Amino acid sequence: MEIDFDEKIITYSQLLKMFFKQHSYHSKSYSRQYMSAIFFHNSEQESAAKKVIKKLPKKAATLLQKYDIFYWAEDYHQKYLLKNNTKIFNSVFKGKTNKQIVNSTVASKLNGYLSGKGNKDVLLADLKEWKFNKSIEDGILAKFERKTTNCSGDVEGDDGKCTIC
Q: Residue 72 class from Cβ within 10 Å (0-12 exposed, 13-18 middle, 19+ buried)?
A: exposed
108 with 81: CB under 8 angstroms?
no
What pLDDT was estimated at residue 149?
53
Mean pLDDT of 89-115: 93
pLDDT single digits (tens) 79-88: 989 999 999 9
For residues 1 and 59, which has the higher predicted lDDT (pLDDT)? 59
What pLDDT was estimated at residue 2?
82
Mean pLDDT of 129-137: 96
Closest C-alpha among 88, 149, 93, 140 to residue 114: 140
pLDDT single digits (tens) 5-37: 898 999 999 999 988 887 777 777 777 777 788
In sequence order, what E strands does 28-116 have? Answer: 37-40, 63-66
Dihedral sign for Cα atoms in the order 126, 78, 28, 147: positive
Q: What is the pTM of this model?
A: 0.67
- Say whether pLDDT at 160 is over 50: no
